[in-house]
Structure 1
Amino acid sequence: MAEAVLVVLVSFLSLALLSFSQDPDLKSGSAYDELRTSGFPVGLLPTNVLTYSLNRTSGAFAVDLDDRCRVTLPPDNYLATYSRRITGKLADRRISDLDGIRVKAFFRWWSITGIRSTGDDLVFEVGVVSAKYPSRNFDESPDCEGRSPRKAAS
């Protein structure tokens, strides 16, 4: 009896972990697919995503990169850095409580705290300040500078 309960418990935990963690190399269920499903272009994440997790109830997510990443963002050529781990909350057409992405503008580094998708535009939030850019500028995932290119899952 105890063995049967243990088998059921282990099976349940395995299914729960599989539904929470996704393999970014699979065509369906990748971090890039989650972005698309939520109304965002894939280019918000660089090409070096290893894994991600998403709690579908709360929207809390974590994206793990294989290393820190530095990219130049279009169209104004702002320098951006991604930490090895990016966290936040994902809801339809909105990312909030974002942590792990910084951009250099006006001779200073700023943390991007949120991103909204409004029509054909993305609104990047830095505290109470925001900037709007066409989402088409982020249709492709950027390669990390100074590294060999790696293709994002499509």
Structure 2
Amino acid sequence: MNPKILIVFFLLLNLTSISIQNPNPKSKIPKSIPSPAHVELAGYGFPVGLLPATTVLSHNINHTSGDFSVKLGGACKITLPPDNYVATYSDTITGKIVKGKIAELNGIRVRAFFQWWSITGIRSSGDDVVFEVGMITAKYPSKNFDDSPACEGQHSAF
């Protein structure tokens, strides 16, 4: 093999290993590219982490009535921060959305106090997100939902 080619090869190999060992700590690599549904959710004032990091097959929003539906690639189970409640997402999530408020929500359930509860609404209130389960509410910092959680158990439609 040509000695010049060997030298170039070893230099490239060395540069590659240096860049892998010393990544730029200021550069942020996104965990995943948000879907259009995640982007639209953020446009209504909600953190993208309210939707799991799963394949969003489609979403529809009637901008007049606020009616929406999100079709996921399959049902999904996640753990909600910070209290580690287990939540399940159906393959289809529906409700009504306006700036800062989701109502008539169907398709998301959470396990608390040894029972499954349907989350019926979500409000974005300043730096907090308020989950509604009927008349009961639970408030958490919005920053807990900055990143979309990965599905722990997904039954893919593919």
Q: TM-score range by the shorter chain?
A: 0.7 to 0.9
Computing the radius of gyration over CA atoms, which structure comes out larger, 1 or 2?
A: 2
Deviations 1:20-43 (A, max 9, x none): xxxxxx97x811111111110000
Measured in 2, the distance between the counterparts of 1:85 and 1:130 equals 23
1:135 pairs with 2:149: no
Q: TM-score, normalised by structure 1?
A: 0.76
Q: CA RMSD in A?
A: 1.4
1:68 aligns to what?
75
Compared CA separation, residues 110 and 144, structure 1 to 2 (3 A): same
2:40 corresponds to 1:34: yes
**Is 1:84 aligned to 2:58, yes or no?**
no
Amino acid in structure 2 at the alignment position of 1:92: K
Q: Point out where structure 1 has 5 or more consecutive residues left out of the alignment.
A: 1-25, 148-154
Give the match for residue 5 of structure 1: none
Query: Are the counterparts in 1 of residues 76 and 153 from structure 2 also a CA contact under 8 Å?
Result: no
Consecutive unaligned residues of structure 2, counting only runs of 5 or more, are 1-32
Q: Whole-Å Cα distance in 2 between the matches of residues 146 and 33 of structure 1?
A: 24
What is the alpha-carbon distance in structure 1 between the residues aligned to residue 67 and residue 40 of structure 2?
12
Number of matched pairs: 121
Say if 2:120 is the partner of 1:113: yes
Q: How far 1:146 sits from its partner (Å)?
A: 3.9
2:131 alignment counterpart:
124
Flag as ranges the 4+ runs of structure 1 deviating above 4 A. Answer: none
Identity %: 62
